[in-house]
Structure 1
Amino acid sequence: MDVTETVQIIALDENWRLLGRIDGRTGWTGIVRALLSLDSAWLVIEQQRPGEPIPQPRLEDIRLSRAIASRLRPMEMKLADHVILGGQRLFSFRQAGLL
């Protein structure tokens, strides 16, 4: 069975209501275009790691969150959360105080 990690960007409005989901494979330019077309104010990075029963952030995950948060500022968008799903569990950067 192929167990691959996936990344989705969840676009939210100013009240954190779902506007749409963007495939992370789209690349930064495609993600930004989609976020702007949806008039997104907030976003969530959602990583799925099917092979990890207890998801934990890696150093590169923390770097990704920080890089995206800083790139969103000039566009007046904010990072609401970065969640990692693994097995039946979820790790939230916001809940862990990493945002």
Structure 2
Amino acid sequence: MLKQKNQPHYLGHRSRLKQRLQDGPRALADYEILELLLGYANPRRDAKPLAKALLERFGSLRGVYQARQADLMEVEGFGDGLSVFWALWREFLARLGEQDVRERVLVDDPKVVADLARERLGHLTGEEFWVLLVDASNRVLGWECVSKGTVDQTPVYPREVLALALNRQAAGLVMVHNHPSGDPKPSNADVEITRQVKLAAHGLGVKLLDHVIVAGKRFYSFRKASLL
């Protein structure tokens, strides 16, 4: 009994949270869901204060999930161990999203591509350029990273994009990259690389279907903007 009394108070609270989760997960508040996740990453610490602090700082579960590592580390109690856990959590969910897209019969909606890219690129502090490769029926053949850059640019060469398409025998492709600034509006460089790839792809019998830029919750589609 003495050992039971000396246990940290949060262990009993966490046990009750787990039981509530099993009884009906929708009844848990957002901070309680986050608290349980944090508890698995650091079981020897009361996770409730940190869960509430993270939600206060970033506004929502998605805001916490997509927050940049440097910003997360500024919250008291969020250390290196949790940083590793966050990286693992993000990678797991990103792969689930990628699997969903690969299993789709058709990829014909810019929002589908934007949702896929947001899971992979939404939290990054630097730009990354990816290509979604499809067959003649718009079924996914590949989802590949072409290049990584800085906070406001990433070097992209048409030959690298088209080499991926030819290697996978793709009939079409969608170019995708992120804007860490939060503004999805394309830069002059974005417009120019789109023009160059479209021209080069046409000469090889490959169709550039879209160029999607993700920035936070927003995205920009060249196709929807009638620029392709």
- Please state which band the TM-score falls in when normalised by the shorter chain: 0.7 to 0.9
CA gap 1:88/1:81 in 2 versus in 1, 3 angstroms: same
Establish whether residue 40 from structure 1 lines up as the match of residue 170 from structure 2: yes
- TM-superposed CA distance for 1:33, in Å, is 3.2
Tell me, what secondary structure is at the counterpart of 1:95?
Answer: coil
Point out the structure with max Rg over C-alpha: 2
CA gap 1:28/1:70 in 2 versus in 1, 3 angstroms: closer
Establish whether residue 16 from structure 1 lines up as the match of residue 138 from structure 2: yes
- Aligned-partner Cα distance in 2 for 1:31–1:92: 18
Q: Which has the higher contact order (CA 8 A, sep 6+)?
A: 1
TM-score, structure 2 as length reference: 0.40
Unaligned runs of 5+ in 1: none
Tell me, what secondary structure is at the counterpart of 1:33?
Answer: helix
Match for residue 77 of structure 1?
A: 206
Tell me, what secondary structure is at the counterpart of 2:203?
Answer: helix
Unaligned runs of 5+ in 2: 1-69, 71-123, 148-155
Figure out how many residues of one structure are paired with residues of the other and give that number: 98
- TM-superposed CA distance for 1:38, in Å, is 1.2
- 1:51-66, aligned counterparts within 5 Å? 51-52=181-182, 54-66=183-195
Tell me, what secondary structure is at the counterpart of 2:223?
Answer: coil
CA gap 1:28/1:62 in 2 versus in 1, 3 angstroms: closer
- TM-superposed CA distance for 1:31, in Å, is 3.6
TM-score, structure 1 as length reference: 0.87
- TM-superposed CA distance for 1:18, in Å, is 1.0
**Whose helix fraction is larger, Structure 1's or Structure 2's?**
2
Runs of 4+ in 1 over 4 A off after TM superposition: 26-30
Establish whether residue 50 from structure 1 lines up as the match of residue 180 from structure 2: yes
For the Cα contact (< 8 Å) 1:22–1:31, is it kept in 2? no
**Cα deviation per residue 1:70-95 (whole Å; 9 max; x = unaligned)?**
11112100100000000011100000
**RMSD of the alignment, in Å?**
1.8
For the Cα contact (< 8 Å) 1:9–1:24, is it kept in 2? yes
- Aligned-partner Cα distance in 1 for 2:213–2:157: 19
**Cα deviation per residue 1:48-86 (whole Å; 9 max; x = unaligned)?**
12331x310111111110000011112100100000000
Give the letter aligned to residue 48 of structure 1. N
